[in-house]
Amino acid sequence: MSDAAVPTAPITFERQPDAYAHWNLKVDGDAASLSMNVSPDGGLLGDYELKLNSYDIGVDIELADAVRRIRFEHPEVKVVVIDSALEGVFCAGANIRMLAAASHSHKVNFCKFTNETRLEIEEASASSGLRFLAAINGACSGGGYELAMACDNLLLVDDRSSSVSLPEVPLLGVLPGTGGLTRLTDKRHVRRDRADVFATKSEGIRGAEAVTWKLVDEVAAPTVFDEAVAASVDALAATSDRVDDGSAVVLETLGRTVTDNSISYRFVEAMFDRSGRSVDLTIKVTAAPEWPLTAARELDDLLCHLRFNEPELGAITLRTRGDAADVLAHTERLLEGADHLTRETALLWKRVLSRLDLTGRSLIALVDPGSCFAGVLAEVLFAADRSYMLDGVFEDDDEPLPAATIQLSAASTGPMPMANGITRLTSRFWGSPDDVVAAEAAVGESVDAARAGELGLVTSTPDDLDWDDEVRLAVEERASFSPDALTAMEANHRWAGPETMATKIFARLSAWQNWVFIRPNASGPDGALRKYGTGTRPTFDHTRT
């Protein structure tokens, strides 16, 4: 398979537990076990063997599905134990043959999706009261250790052979691509010099030394490992505030229709302009009580589909349709968080909006008559790189709709921050606190185009005569630029303000991983990814920049 290899069929992102090929999920009272049991011949991308619980995107899609299902379907669960069904092996990390064969865009999107899943695990602990225990019952390396680090507690079997390691630098010529180095220092607080030794020590560190270095939290001998797991589960469960209040919901399969030039769900649809390399994405709102959960799941599924299956569609125009009153009512209920379901749905919107922020495409919001950028959907507007709001109505319409307005709510003032830990309004007006105050003062106001321009909530407010040309030129201009430069530029502009662990991870993924993955030392004919497992050492260009 060449370096430009791509999946032979579109990747899908919905799974059902009874069809998992790589994970065993079992719920028992207030604990769930999620055991990694990767099918060696279950690779999603091509002809490679998933040995030693190594994983590809298919394995991670199932993990993401399992975590989300536990959150929504099992409020009785307080602790999730992540372990391995294989004797002597926890997880060998990302599959090297897959990485060597995958296209560059797939490598980067794979790393991004993997880390978003890790972040959802951490968010579930921080905001849902769902605790995670990594029961490391065997060798744990690379992405396997990164998965463990996403958990609240790491328990390593002390059998004189099992170790934790991040061997990517010495063995593969690449970096831990899903946040390994960042979590090592920013989350585990491993001392810098020890982190340096650890990340260049391919065999890793085991036993009591791993505890001393803060690489794991505790170790237990094989004879008492099960008892140690049980004790850790009890201790973690005591810290959880999850309550089964009867509001759990089963995540049913999403209905969607796919054609060559479109994909549509109940509340979300996208039309593809392949010649113009753009997507027109519309979120439709109704008063249906299931709208918040279903629309969030549909938007999430669509964003993943676009990332992995439509790499040449580089610009996304964002539209909404419906009654702003319905969005505001849904948003108010979400922010109240009165029960398990509404709390989890609000957190899902936070995560989907973050996925939108992190999508490497140009985002252009269009606010026109019939739109409803209000409440939680105002955050979609503020996620855009640019926004255009029609000043007035479309005069040529036989029955013109009323002029568009924007309606901010409390959703824009704190509960749904970006990965940098601040709101999209604060990011938008970074360094101009008075503008943030003025924008937040407009919460509850029906903001027309003139007022939106005054407040700086949109980029431009063309009238009916200029609308079509201004929007068309913005989209066409985007399609004419280098996508590499645009991705870097947009990432710089989107993440104003403070750094967090998440922004470090994704900035380093965009910069370091993008660069390292395409260097000959990693991916060239004599690079480490190509030579791994062949018995032949890679040939490195030792020039440093």
Residues 336, 428 within the same domain = yes
Report if residue 104 sits inside a domain.
yes
Chain CA centroid to CA 395, Å:
41
| In a domain? residue 251 | no
Q: Which of 167-181, 205-219, 300-314 has the lowest mean pLDDT?
A: 167-181
Nearest to 53 by CA among 42, 69, 44: 42
**What pLDDT does 408 receive?**
98
Cβ atoms of 211 and 219 closer than 8 Å: yes
Q: For residue 2, tell me if it sits in a domain.
A: no
How many independent structural domains does the chain possess?
Answer: 2
Query: Given this model, what pLDDT does residue 100 score?
Result: 86
Q: Which of these, 156, 178, 158, lies nearest to 166 by C-alpha position?
A: 178
- Whether 314 is covered by a domain: the verdict is yes
Q: Does pLDDT of 2 surpass 80? A: no
Q: What is the CATH number of the domain that holds 277?
A: 3.90.226.10
On the question of pLDDT at 501 being above 50, the answer is: yes
The pLDDT value recorded for residue 516 is 84
Same domain membership, residue 402 and residue 279: yes
524 within a domain of the structure (yes/no):
no
Answer whether residue 499 is part of any domain: no
* Averaged pLDDT, 354-376: 97
Q: Name which residue leads in pLDDT, 545 or 80.
A: 80
* Alpha-carbon separation of residue 383 from 292, 354, 389, 426 (angstroms): 18, 9, 15, 12
452-496, pLDDT tens digit by residue? Answer: 999 999 999 999 999 999 999 999 999 899 998 898 899 889 989
Q: Structure pTM?
A: 0.95
Out of 178, 209, 237, a domain closes at 237
Residue 197 is part of which domain span? 17-237
User: How high is the pLDDT of residue 164?
Assistant: 98
Mean pLDDT for the stretch of residues 13-26: 96
Q: Give the pLDDT mean for 371-382.
A: 98
- The verdict on 167 and 70 lying in the same domain is yes
Give the model confidence (pLDDT) of 379-410 as tens digits.
Answer: 999 999 999 999 999 988 888 899 999 999 99
Average pLDDT over residues 123-144: 97
Q: Does 129 lie in the same domain as 95? A: yes
The per-residue pLDDT for 1 is 35
pLDDT attached to residue 389: 98
pLDDT tens for 271-287 read 999 999 999 999 999 99
Q: Which pLDDT does position 9 carry in this prediction? A: 82
Q: How many CB atoms lie within 10 A of CB 113?
A: 22
Do residues 373 and 365 lie in contact, with contact meaning Cβ atoms separated by under 8 Å? yes
Q: What's the CA gap between 376 and 32, in Å, rounded?
A: 32
194 in any annotated domain: yes
- The span from the CA of 336 to the CA of 468, in Å, is 40
Percent of all residues in the chain with a pLDDT value above 90, rounded to a whole number: 84
Each residue's pLDDT tens digit, 136-175? 999 999 999 999 999 999 999 999 999 999 999 999 888 8
pLDDT of residue 174: 85
Q: What's the CA gap between 87 and 42, in Å, rounded?
A: 19
Label residue 512 by pLDDT band (50, 70, 90).
confident
What pLDDT shows up at residue 3?
Answer: 42
Average pLDDT over residues 98-119: 91
Q: Are 409 and 331 in contact (CB under 8 A)?
A: yes
Q: Which among 479, 494, 509 is the end of a domain?
A: 494
Residues 305 and 192 in one domain: no
d(CA 331, CA 342): 10
Q: Give the residue among 322, 326, 325 at the shortest CA–CA distance from 287.
A: 326
For residue 7, the model assigns a pLDDT of 53
CB atoms within 10 A of CB 68: 20
- Domain assignment present for 523: no
